[in-house]
């Protein structure tokens, strides 16, 4: 009964005109950036973070969350119709979705993607509502030692799930930890890595790195890519799947929902990893694997369900433990902090309207996205006719304004541009930038909790082994490390990522 009362509290908050309006705005913006290549949800949320400071806390968080899961819907539209994935998580959708469009089944593919996404989003949202209170109650027993062990486990897990060589992923995390140390140390008052630059005394702002590594880098890569955009292959004659399409789609949707919900919770997981894994799974369990790549319905249904489930289940560790599982959740963590809210187990006790309002808005946002995407497909696709040479100056301007508005300093814009060039070099070197952002966000939290644990134990490191939860997490971390160095595991991992790239 208490669960239903809290759920009603959430819907009461989410259905206020203000929150409903910002939910719709987030869904529209998410669809737009999902359709248009050149700026993803990470950079968009980074640009809009300073603006949310002037909004009510729940309204701002609802809008940013809507942008994240809305981008998953938008990316599938152009992946199917013009073979141009707007989002990384929609890359595999294009493989079979575009083939279906070429066969005159574009409407069916779009409907399968939208309905599968809505079902997966609903299940994942329900999972957040169920798992949230349970994990929060468990997390109340966490002390500094447990949080240190949990963050070490999360950072190592992120390197396993990151694309590319493990050593490069570890290097990116270490570089992120190093960037998190820049500024004046709160305990000793000593300068760290500031190079006597007054602008760095307060550290590097999260938005500066995020817009640089994701926004500016994406613009550079798109300008470098001279390939033309595709064209709509056929007119949409039917926006509803046939009975046979439904028969092939629903098992794939169920499996994709399960895969996405599970992988979204894991450190380093999320929408992109979930979609690739779901596609690989569908290909392996199919009785006709030769149809994949030729317009298989399951090749659209599974990944689309997985990327939406993964996008929304990744909120679970953030809302319950205060630990972001991927770079997008690191953005959301910053949004909470801007409004003076510390995500974690205490949020459900002290500010239940924030947690339950966000959960309710996720389901409402998913419903809005089905309505937004199917009837308005023609409008979204027409946006692709706008030349990128006209789009990128506007994107660049918004990025610069977003960075400048943080502290009203040109220095931040120049620093973001520097990170943009650095991010471009990272991409060329096949280094994924996501672990860098995770390391940057978790570094200060790790340092703070490590100091607290050592103070409480009078400097004895045995505190990490004396507390049962901390010990279990450290054992799991050690087991994962041993697994990483095994040649058989490394080979399997490399084969899996090669299949994804193919």
User: In this predicted model, what pLDDT tens digit does every residue of 244-263 receive, in sequence order?
Assistant: 888 888 888 999 899 888 88
Average pLDDT score over the chain: 80
Q: What is the pLDDT of residues 119-154, one digit of tens each?
A: 988 898 888 888 888 887 777 778 888 888 888 888
pLDDT exceeds cutoff 80 at 329: yes
Q: Half-sphere exposure (CA, 13 Å, Cβ side) for 258?
A: 7
Q: What is the pLDDT of residues 96-113, one digit of tens each?
A: 888 888 787 877 888 888
How many helices (H) and strands (E) are present in the chain, helices listed first? 24, 2
Distance CA 244, CA 384 (A): 32
What is the pLDDT, as a whole number, of residue 212?
A: 85
Kindly report the length of the chain: 502
Element (H, E) at 319: helix 315-321
pLDDT exceeds cutoff 60 at 380: yes
Backbone Cα Rg of the chain: 22
Q: Bigger pLDDT: 426 or 407?
A: 426
Return the closest-CA partner of residue 310 out of 281, 273, 335, 282: 273
How many Cβ atoms are within 10 Å of 498's Cβ, its own excluded?
Answer: 9
Q: What is the mean pLDDT of residues 62-82?
A: 81
pLDDT exceeds cutoff 50 at 233: no
- 17 Cβ partners below 8 Å, 6+ apart? none
Q: Half-sphere exposure (CA, 13 Å, Cβ side) for 162?
A: 29
Structure tokens at 461: 């490191």
CB 149 within 8 A of CB 473: yes
What is the pLDDT, as a whole number, of residue 384?
A: 67
Give, in degrees to the nearest 5, the angle at Cα 330 between 3 and 35: 90
Element (H, E) at 356: helix 352-373
Element (H, E) at 307: helix 298-313
Domain interval for residue 210: 2-501
Q: What is the mean pLDDT of residues 19-35?
A: 87
pLDDT exceeds cutoff 80 at 282: yes
pLDDT exceeds cutoff 70 at 496: no
pLDDT exceeds cutoff 60 at 41: yes
Structure tokens at 124: 């994942």
What is the pLDDT, as a whole number, of residue 17?
A: 92
pLDDT exceeds cutoff 60 at 234: no
What is the pLDDT, as a whole number, of residue 447?
A: 87
Q: Bigger pLDDT: 235 or 327?
A: 327
- Count of domains in the chain? 1
pLDDT exceeds cutoff 70 at 73: yes
CB 331 within 8 A of CB 337: no
Confidence band (pLDDT; 50, 70, 90) for 225?
A: low
Structure tokens at 33: 């950036």
Structure tokens at 353: 């309207």
Cβ-in-10-Å burial (0-12, 13-18, 19+) of 62 comes to buried
What is the pLDDT, as a whole number, of residue 39?
A: 66
Structure tokens at 40: 């993803």
Q: What is the mean pLDDT of residues 180-199?
A: 82
Return the closest-CA partner of residue 46 out of 404, 423, 410, 446: 404
Distance CA 338, CA 206 (A): 11
What is the pLDDT, as a whole number, of residue 376?
A: 74
Confidence band (pLDDT; 50, 70, 90) for 23?
A: very high
Confidence band (pLDDT; 50, 70, 90) for 343?
A: confident
What is the pLDDT, as a whole number, of residue 20?
A: 92
Q: What is the pLDDT of residues 205-219, one digit of tens each?
A: 877 888 888 778 877
What is the pLDDT, as a whole number, of residue 84?
A: 67
Element (H, E) at 183: strand 183-184
pLDDT exceeds cutoff 80 at 19: yes
Q: What is the mean pLDDT of residues 63-70?
A: 86
How many Cβ atoms are within 10 Å of 287's Cβ, its own excluded?
Answer: 5
Distance CA 270, CA 263 (A): 6
b/e per residue 417-426 (b: at least 16 CB within 10 A)? bebbebbbeb
Distance CA 311, CA 62 (A): 14
pLDDT exceeds cutoff 70 at 500: no
Q: What is the mean pLDDT of residues 287-299?
A: 81
Least confident of 46-50, 257-261, 317-321, 414-418: 46-50
Confidence band (pLDDT; 50, 70, 90) for 492?
A: low
Cα 395 to Cα 38, 47, 450: the distances in Å are 8, 10, 40
pLDDT exceeds cutoff 80 at 268: no
pLDDT exceeds cutoff 50 at 389: yes
What is the pLDDT, as a whole number, of residue 231?
A: 46
- 83 Cβ partners below 8 Å, 6+ apart? 94, 98, 230
């Amino acid at each position: 009964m208490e669960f239903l009362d809290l759920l009603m509290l959430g819907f009461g908050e989410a259905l206020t005109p203000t929150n409903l309006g910002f939910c719709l705005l987030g869904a529209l913006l998410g669809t737009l950036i999902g359709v248009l290549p050149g700026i993803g949800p990470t950079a968009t949320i980074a640009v809009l973070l300073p603006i949310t400071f002037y909004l009510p806390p729940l309204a701002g968080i609802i809008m940013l969350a809507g942008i994240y899961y809305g981008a998953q819907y938008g990316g599938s539209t152009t992946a199917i119709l013009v073979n141009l994935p707007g989002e990384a998580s929609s890359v595999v959708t294009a493989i079979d979705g575009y083939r279906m469009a070429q066969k005159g089944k574009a409407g069916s593919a779009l409907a399968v993607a939208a309905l599968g996404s809505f079902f997966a989003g609903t299940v994942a949202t329900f999972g957040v509502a169920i798992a949230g209170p349970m994990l929060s109650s468990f997390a109340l027993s966490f002390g500094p030692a447990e949080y240190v062990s949990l963050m070490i486990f999360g950072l190592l897990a992120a390197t396993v799930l990151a694309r590319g060589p493990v050593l490069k992923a570890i290097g990116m995390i270490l570089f992120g930890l190093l960037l998190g140390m820049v500024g004046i140390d709160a305990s000793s008052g000593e300068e760290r890595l500031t190079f006597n630059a007054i602008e760095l005394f307060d550290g590097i702002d999260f938005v500066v790195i995020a817009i640089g590594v994701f926004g500016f880098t994406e613009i550079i890569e798109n300008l470098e890519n001279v390939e033309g955009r595709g064209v709509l292959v056929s007119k949409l004659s039917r926006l509803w799947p046939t009975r046979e399409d439904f028969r092939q789609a629903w098992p794939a949707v169920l499996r994709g929902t399960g895969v996405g919900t599970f992988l979204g919770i894991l450190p380093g997981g999320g929408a992109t990893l979930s979609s690739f894994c779901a596609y690989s799974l569908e290909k392996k369990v199919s009785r006709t694997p030769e149809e994949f790549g030729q317009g298989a319905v399951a090749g659209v249904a599974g990944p689309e369900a997985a990327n939406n489930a993964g996008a929304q289940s990744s909120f679970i560790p953030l809302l319950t433990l205060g630990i972001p599982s991927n770079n997008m959740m690191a953005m959301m963590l910053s949004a909470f902090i801007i409004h003076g809210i510390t995500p974690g187990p205490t949020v459900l006790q002290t500010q239940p309207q924030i947690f339950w309002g966000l959960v309710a808005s996720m389901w409402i946002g998913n419903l809005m996205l089905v309505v937004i995407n199917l009837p308005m497909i023609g409008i979204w696709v027409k946006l692709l006719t706008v030349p990128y040479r006209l789009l990128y100056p506007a994107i660049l301007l918004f990025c610069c304004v977003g960075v400048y508005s943080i502290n009203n300093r040109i220095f931040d814009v120049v620093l973001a541009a520097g990170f943009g060039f650095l991010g471009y070099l990272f991409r060329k070197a096949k280094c994924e930038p996501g672990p860098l952002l995770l390391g940057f966000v978790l570094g200060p939290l790790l340092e703070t909790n490590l100091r607290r644990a050592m103070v409480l134990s009078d400097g004895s490191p045995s505190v990490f082994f004396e507390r049962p939860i901390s010990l279990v997490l450290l054992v799991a971390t050690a087991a994962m490390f041993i697994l990483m160095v095994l040649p058989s595991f490394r080979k399997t991992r490399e084969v899996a990522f090669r299949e994804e790239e193919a």
